[in-house]
Amino acid sequence: TDNAPAPLARDTATDSPNDVVGADDRNLDDVVDDFLNDNDSIGPPAPVAPRALAVQKLPEPQPAFAPSSTPLDQPRRYMCWNYMGSVTLLQNEENMNNTVQIDFTNSASRRPVSFTDNMNFILGSLGEDGAFF
């Protein structure tokens, strides 16, 4: 049993857009109504059983770190080491004055710099525009 409507013969060269849309007896409202009426007989959806939650143990987080740094308790610490050079902190146990030493990879264009650390720096960064502590 084929319930499909027979195609209408028409001259498509003279059809306006309104004629083409109105050629079908069914419009969008009829299709939506048919769909809603068909689903009324299905009934309410079956209840969904709650899922059991799995508790997963997370790994222990690692202690905080900075790239290219060394432990705080070492007498000579690298605060930064990259393509520009290195920033080293030399701890002086006798008079509690630390020294920061900056060495550049290209020593022909930039000379090493050294200064007393009065602020107790623990991190540093070295770039083309300078150093940051």
Domain range spanning residue 101? 76-132
CA–CA distance, 102 with 105 (Å, rounded to integer) = 10
- pLDDT, position 75: 85
- Using DSSP's 3-state secondary structure scheme, residue 23 falls into coil
- pLDDT, position 16: 56
DSSP 94: T
Q: Is residue 45 part of a domain?
A: no
Q: Is residue 66 part of a domain?
A: no
Residue 118 makes CB contacts below 8 A (sequence gap 6+) with 97
pTM value is 0.48
- pLDDT, position 23: 47
Q: Is residue 47 part of a domain?
A: no
- pLDDT, position 81: 87
- pLDDT, position 42: 66
Q: Is residue 88 part of a domain?
A: yes
pLDDT tens, per residue, the chain with 133 residues: 566 666 666 555 555 555 555 545 556 666 666 666 655 566 677 788 887 777 788 888 777 666 656 777 778 888 888 899 999 999 887 777 899 999 999 888 889 999 999 888 888 889 988 888 8
Task: Give the chain's domain count.
Answer: 1
Q: Is residue 6 part of a domain?
A: no
